[in-house]
Structure 1
Amino acid sequence: MTDPTQEPRTRQDPSPDSPAMRSTCPVRPAPGSGERPGYLVTGYAEAREALADSRLSKDTAVFFAGKGSRRRLHPAVAHTMLAADPPRHTRLRRLVTKAFTTGAVAELRPFIARVTGELLDPWPAGEPFDVVAGLAVPLPVIVICELLGIPPHDRPQVQRWSGQLFAAGRPDVVDAASHAMAEYMTGLIAAKRRDPGDSLLDRLVAARDGDDHLSEDELVSLAVLLLVAGHETTTHTLGNALLALLQDPAALGRLVADPDGVPAALDELLRFDSAVSTATFRFTTEPVTLGGTDIPAGVPVLVAIGAANRDPVRFPDPDRLDLARDASAHLAFGHGIHRCVGAPLARAETEIALRALLTRFPGIRLAVPPDELKWRPTRLVRGLESLPVLASTR
């Protein structure tokens, strides 16, 4: 089945459907072919319901069993915590949640601020600079690698593999990257067993859930998931948020005048242009009625988060950035038991980076026309290949 939310037009526009379409057809068959074509959910209420419905399974191993796929994803990538249902999902999530609580992230804030400052220090004021390459990519990579205990000299290669896992339309590249990443993590885990430290990955190696150790496959899978999820979406969140501000002089001016207002503005920025355009794979385990549409058992359900966050029924005038809006109910981090466990860390990184940018460079502006910006041809997530700006101090 093709994914209609990943067409080029949609990568430029997070919600290409008209508001009327989103309101009157919130659940509809998804264009595509195959034995069991799926359904696309674009309405907010329907998306929120689908994300929390236990009848929509995320167990890809069950769905694709016996289908003879030619894909060769490494099992550690194909069967992560994101592709699991309770009770397995509950057990694995419990082991990592403590690392991403608000309190735990608060302890990381000085490190995040220091890294942000170091990345901004070389910026040439008044000259073009790429925010994606210079800040949005390296900041979350450095932070999650530090958290996991990945040595600095390995981080550039690990980041390249992670990016390749989202290479839309290139299954050979995705599959190869999945094996390279899993093999690297297997070696790193073995090294940490020989010489334990105090990183999150070290703690997972030693973790128990009751009397049950994590298996080797579970360790590798968690390590890969935390690394990829811990930086890829944050990179796009920061780039998308800054672009939204740069295209709205009033909103930009408001935060330049009051950088302390960035935390309160984050929810609206996340709603306006979510880094996750489509939620990860789900399928119905029994017939489900969603938004008045009857969906049979055994078919995929695509939840279009970007479209749901622009549903006018929930967010009036949704295509307008309104920093005064209460957008706290957005779905950018998902909803239900699979809500992004790293949301507090992503928020902290985005907040600290945006505040630093607007404080250092209050005259920041786009260095190219918006229609010249290129979006990455990725699966599931939505982000810019580059974001050239003039980092002006006035």
Structure 2
Amino acid sequence: MLRVGLTGGIGSGKSAVARRLVERGAVLLDADRIAREVVAPGTDGLAEVVAAFSDRVLDADGTLDRAALGEIVFADEAARRRLEAIVHARVRVRTAELFAAAPPDAAVVNDVPLLVEVGLAPAYHLVVVVHTEVATRLARLARDRGMSRAEAERRIAAQADDARRAEAADVLLANDGTLDQLHAAVDALWHDRLVPFEANLRHRRAVRLDRVTLSEPDPTWPRQYARLAARIRHALAPVDLRIDHIGSTAMAGLAAKDVIDIQLSVPSLAEADGPLAERLAEAGFPRLPGDWWDSPRPPGSGRWEKRLHGSADPARPVHLHLRVTGSPGWRYALLMRDHLRADPDRRAAYLMLKRELAASAPDIGTYATAKDPWFDEEHLRAEEWAARTGWRP
């Protein structure tokens, strides 16, 4: 099952995105609807809300007066956090039940207004954020909900700002145009990414590149790594293993294959082969079949065995290297990253080599093998740098 988190600021139009995804075949879980359910008359949730805010938040028929409650909590940060503490735990429990009840081949979209604010992003395979300019949102709230400008501004200010939501977004859907334009963007997302992502996830297939194409430096690579690492950490909790961004996308200003390389430090390869592998697969990082190892430095010093996982997301290739903590391959990955980060001249030499090989040997296997002689020599420079600077992994 593919778990998609959908969010956006009030008035952004995420409900229109949710409706279109349902039309395409998604299963929708609406956090607002679930939040109303857990504070319906007769529930423990409603009783606790009344105990916290008094019966002035009740209508005459005993149901929750959401407008009255909103006036209290959106004007008072402490009150808002108190309400969240009451409601959110119950919403999480009910949401988990609904996820469990969905078909195993479903793409389940969880519409969560406060997904970013409450730190839920790592729990999803993908987070979609609907972005709309504030002026457009204010106009929509006045037109569609009859909300005063002051109230709309207060509601917007109480939520995460656009920059914080963008940090959490794997997909940023702009919604400042027409409804047809929004539908076209949602349809493309569904057919090009969500459908194949779900199938890859169900069949434990990882995305693999056959050809080398260098992308110019992308300043978002570190942020993309951070989102991926948070998902891995969430999938493995409460086990806390070291996770590092390695490879060319971890070096500022360096052109690279658009693949995020991640190193997960494991106590042993036996542990990497245990339940940990299945937890990674369920989180969207299935193991790649076959035997994998790193080329030893210096050559002939014995094979550096590892495990390699990839990404089921067709739009975000990943190489997830599971190496034993303290092993030669583990240390080498960190050493070469830090050495090249620290030496712009050697980084420039590496870039020149990459461009030459990408042009002459674009096959992924040939490209990787052709770099070995350069790294055999560069390894010596890196060890000298480590000794001179006192570097430790």
TM-score strictly above 0.5: no
Structure number with the higher strand fraction is 2
Bigger Rg over Cα: 2
